Structure 1
Amino acid sequence: MRANRSRDTTPELQLRALLFEHGLRYRVSMQPISGLRRTADIVFPRARVAVFVDGCYWHGCPEHYRPSTKNSEFWATKISSNRIRDEDTNRALAEAGWTVIRCWEHEDAEVSAGRVIDALDKSTS
């Protein structure tokens, strides 16, 4: 488990590169709300947009998640608690006036970047 990165994953780096190419500047691995122990992958503080790039296994992607065959009860509980925490994070940030964007690791980075850019455009208008 130590080899599993919590930041600077390949999908995250691809998305960040595309956003940077569009002239956008952002914070990396930041807590959008102080006191809330949640870290967003990419944060636009002024626009109040938080982007999470979720791994298919760790967050239970409906398209790609395959249950573990070893220690299955533990992993089912772990993935379920991750999903519940994600929903709680979305709710807490939305209540604080933030826009939350969740991207799956399997999504095309161009599509994800487009969603982020659209959210930023809406927040500034």
Structure 2
Amino acid sequence: MTDTMTKKQRSKTMGAIRAQSKLENIFSKALWHRGFRFRKNVRKLKGTPDIVMQKYKIVIFIDSCFWHGCPEHFKRPKSNQDFWDKKISRNRERDKEVDEFYKERNWNVKHVWEHEIRKDLKKTVDETEEFIKGIKQEYREAKESKKN
């Protein structure tokens, strides 16, 4: 099936898609209520991380099962399959490139799948809290060792 929009119209339509989903908001609010402070959807950082704690060099990405090609839940569209295969493949490659970018700069990267939040919000927030607390502890220890 061919696209009924011009390239310019399609670009405008895709650009209007909101940067945040309801699921991201639910997850970030749960972290916020646990006392974590962060910035959301920081466009100046590569890959526009969903949650950023710059002081601790933490970026968290909340990945949609469809757009990021979840191995458990991705359902390949029946129409225009070549387009979607390339699109999802490129999204996965970009995710790896973004991860490498941050790891090369000693940032801590965490990905949370959409289905993890849907299945068990509390467990997913608990795991993310452990991830953040571990990094904060390492940060404090490194800071303390520099003093001595």
TM-score by length of 2: 0.75
Query: Percent identity, aligned pairs only?
Result: 30
Q: After TM superposition, what 4+ stretches of structure 1 lie above 6 angstroms from structure 2?
A: none
Structure with a larger share of its residues in strand: 1
Q: Tell me whether 1:77 sits opposite 2:73 in the alignment.
A: no
SS state of the match for residue 85, structure 1?
Answer: helix
Q: CA deviation at 1:11?
A: 1.5
Report the structure number with the largest CA radius of gyration.
Answer: 2
Structure 2: any 5+ residue segments left out of the alignment? Answer: 1-12, 138-148
User: Greater relative contact order: 1 or 2 (C-alpha under 8 angstroms, separation 6 or more)?
Assistant: 1
TM-score, normalising length: structure 1:
0.88
- Equivalent position to 1:99, from 91, 108, 115: 108
Residues 4/10 of structure 1: CA separation in 2 closer, same or farther (3 Å cut): farther
| Number of equivalences | 122
The aligned residue for residue 21 of structure 1 is: 33
Unaligned runs of 5+ in 1: none
Query: Among residues 66, 89, 96, which one is paired with 1:57 in the alignment?
Result: 66
* RMSD, aligned CA: 1.9
